[in-house]
Amino acid sequence: DAKTTQPNSMESNEEEPVHLPCNHSTISGTDYIHWYRQLPSQGPEYVIHGLTSNVNNRMASLAIAEDRKSSTLILHRATLRDAAVYYCILRDMGGSEKLVFGKGTKLTVNP
Amino acid sequence: GAVVSQHPSWVICKSGTSVKIECRSLDFQATTMFWYRQFPKQSLMLMATSNEGSKATYEQGVEKDKFLINHASLTLSTLTVTSAHPEDSSFYICSAGRKHTPLHFGNGTRLTVT
């Protein structure tokens, strides 16, 4: 399974943008970059995913480097409800499509 | 959005007994379901992949005779922890999806074995 590297933790202030980085230097051609987040005592929640182009949805934006070896999840205005562990995962859409979670980034949002 | 329901949300059982956890996709048909477990302050660990109508595929190190998975329909998968021991106490989470779509997760089942 292709691996990703994320900072263990990050901090942000409420209503400010947050950029969560992810490195995935061994990404293969059929790997999609997925982001999920998990609030305490809950199951993970889908945030966004992409292949090559930048993606936007109501929750966040995903910026993907041209060589696809890194990506950044952007929360445009952090709220206290965005405090969670964010997981960047490579998902092989040409194979089993399973999600293998790494350690993720714990995001703290300060009021 | 798509909803995955997991039941029960928590369960306490005695050592040596078996516990069944259900995972249902409420508003879509899931061709594949995945089962995870998560220990405190750790990440999710994939246990097995369950495809409707076929045998589950277990990850390395997961005992298939201890963690029985059944995926009888496109909306239901079950995980049975057999002969549970205290070290099986964990947070069990299922996810469901269709080909080429994001996965949706249940809210987990907290199992405590006494």
pLDDT tens across B86-97, in order?
999 999 999 998
Under 8 Å CB pairs connecting chains A and B tally to 50
What is the distance, to the nearest Å, from the Cα of residue A46 to the centroid of all Cα atoms in its chain?
9
Interchain contact A44–B (C-beta under 8 A): yes
Identify the band that residue A46 occupies on the pLDDT scale cut at 50, 70 and 90.
very high
**Triad A7, A74, A88: Cα angle to 5°:** 45
Which residues on chain B are in Cβ contact (under 8 Å) with A38? 44
- Contact at CB, B107 and A42, closer than 8 angstroms: yes
> What per-residue confidence (pLDDT) applies to A2?
61
pLDDT tens digits for B21-32?
999 999 888 889
* Cα first-last separation, chain B: 37
Which residues on chain A are in Cβ contact (under 8 Å) with B99? 97
- In 3-state terms chain B splits into helix, strand, coil percentages (rounded to 5) of 5, 50, 45
| Range A10-26 average pLDDT | 97
- Tokens representing residue B48 in the block: 């097995």
Return the biggest CA–CA distance within chain B. Answer: 41
> What per-residue confidence (pLDDT) applies to B22?
96
**Which of B44, B69, B95 is the mutation pick for testing A, counting most A CBs within 10 A?**
B44
> What per-residue confidence (pLDDT) applies to B1?
62
Question: Dihedrals φ, ψ of A12, to 5°?
Answer: -145, 165
- Tokens representing residue B66 in the block: 């201890």
> Other CB atoms closer than 10 Å to residue A54's CB: what's the count?
12
**Cα–Cα distance between B27 and A94 in angstroms, integer?**
25
- Contact at CB, A101 and B44, closer than 8 angstroms: yes
Which residues on chain A are in Cβ contact (under 8 Å) with B49? 96, 98
**Which of B51, B103, B110 is the mutation pick for testing A, counting most A CBs within 10 A?**
B103
Nearest-Cα distance to chain B for A103, in Å, is 5
- Contact at CB, A93 and B100, closer than 8 angstroms: yes
A12 has a pLDDT exceeding 80? yes
> What per-residue confidence (pLDDT) applies to A77?
96
Least CB-CB distance to A100: which of B46, B102, B106?
B46
- Tokens representing residue B80 in the block: 């049975």
Interchain contact A42–B (C-beta under 8 A): yes
CB A71 within 8 A of CB A64: yes
- Tokens representing residue B21 in the block: 């956890």
**Cα–Cα distance between A101 and B37 in angstroms, integer?**
11
